[in-house]
Amino acid sequence: MDKRRVVITGLGSVSPNGIGNDSFWEGLKNGKNCVDKTTFFDPKEHTSQVAAEIKEFDPTKYLSPKELRQVHRVVPMALAATKEALDDASLFGKQEYEDKIGVVLGTGAGGLGYGEGQIKTMYMEGLRKVSPYATTGTFVGMLSSEISIYFGFKGMSLVVSTGCTSGSDAMGYAFNNIRFGMSDILITGGAEACITPAIVGAFCRMGALSTNWNQTPKKASRPFNKDRDGFVMGEGAWIFIFEELSHALNRGAKIYAEVKGYGATCDAYHKTVPEPTGRNLVRAMEIAVNDAGVSKNDIDYINLHGTSTVLNDAKESHAIKQFFGEKAYSIPTSSFKSMIGHPQGASGACGMAGTVLAMKNGFIPPTINYENPDPECDLDYVPNKGREADLRTCLINSIAFGSKNSAIIICKI
């Protein structure tokens, strides 16, 4: 069958650099550094004591105090971003679409932070004090259900959880679902809220987080620097409306960009260590480019996974040089994680949102904190200051524990 075309008609953002698309974009454009000392809990026992927290978000705008006691923080964040995306797409409150709209979201931890609190309650106060919502509040799959129930959407409701590629893989699933005729409109993207004592503590024990910059937290997230020492935990929700092109045109929707290609691979190598040659990230990019029907020479910008870990940054840089050859050095690339930390399973959605807005505004946000270049990482990372650019075809990369790789191509329409 002929593949249908898929476009983005709405976007919503809840981010450490601001609530709403305008704040998110202005923060990225201006290189706003959102990393600071952890305040959500006392981190004195943690080797990493910095995070990129969302401090302005008010969940009571979306759920009552009773409802908030039943869910993790990630739920109202996702609801807020979804509400903005629906408004942006002129779909909010349109009852005629309720049976057609489905939800496909990505998250790594989902409500794990809620379960963390309930387990503590059980051991400290006894089982009778545990919430009857302990199961549903923790269950990863409930994230899409909460959105479906809240807005009354009766299409498919699905969560994709593949670690740090979750958002990208959810968008890839939504993209294929629409273009092969199973849906016309899907809410997709990613949401994550992982700044909790146990989750951060587990990553500390793994040795994945930055520990050398606790006294100077603004320096901690420093992708592609020689002295990078781990990622900074972030959080956020970035939600999109994916829609079949003719459906969007028929209802007069504005269009941000067209989703053109998606590729996913696995290194099948290690739980946490990336396969050093990057050859399977190369394959993911190649699959996405071929799926999109474009040439790698068409790529104007690459949004990098760029976590600020020693192995990941080197692997990604090496893979890009393998795939693009000499052209790799002339393609601008950047990592938003330098500004807002690493929002785990929502990171691909964050990269997509920032890239869509970069394409719209003709401006590439920078990689900040680029001070001590690593000779192994020698691409154009748009260091420290953004730049104007006409972006027509862009690539968004994601890499996850379990040695997963995902790539998405979007184009100006």
Q: Among all residues, which ones are annotated catalytic?
A: 164, 305, 342
β-partners of residue 14 are 19, 237
Distance CA 203, CA 50 (A): 13
Quote the CA–CA distance of 413 and 411 in Å, as a whole number: 6
Hunting for tokens 């050095």 — which residue is that? 329
Q: Per the structure block, which two tokens stand in for 259?
A: 């989703």
- Tokens at residue 368, please? 């900040």
| Complete DSSP assignment for 80-136 | HHHHHHHHHTT-TT-GGGTTTEEEEEE-SSTTHHHHHHHHHHHHHH-GGGS-TTHHH
DSSP three-state, residue 404: strand
Q: Which residue's structure tokens are 């089982």? A: 127
242 CB neighbour count, 10 Å cutoff: 27
Distance, in Å, from the CA atom of 337 to the CA atom of 190, rounded to the nearest integer, reads 15
b/e code 102-115 from CB counts within 10 Å (16+ = b): bbbbbbbbbbbbbb
- C-alpha gyration radius of the chain: 20
Nearest to 259, CA basis, from 11, 1, 91: 11
Quote the distance between the C-alpha of residue 220 and its chain's center: 20
Which residues 6+ apart lie within 8 Å of 369 measured at CB?
33, 218, 219, 221, 222, 223, 225, 338, 384
Between CA 272 and CA 402 the distance in angstroms is 6
3-state secondary structure of 411: strand
Q: Is 37 helix (H, G, I), strand (E, B) or coil?
A: strand
Q: What are phi and psi of 405, to 5 degrees?
A: -140, 135
Asked if 235 and 242 count as a contact pair (C-beta separation under 8 A), the reply is no
**Separation between Cα atoms, residue 175 and residue 178, nearest integer Å:** 5
Q: What SS3 state is found at 57? A: coil
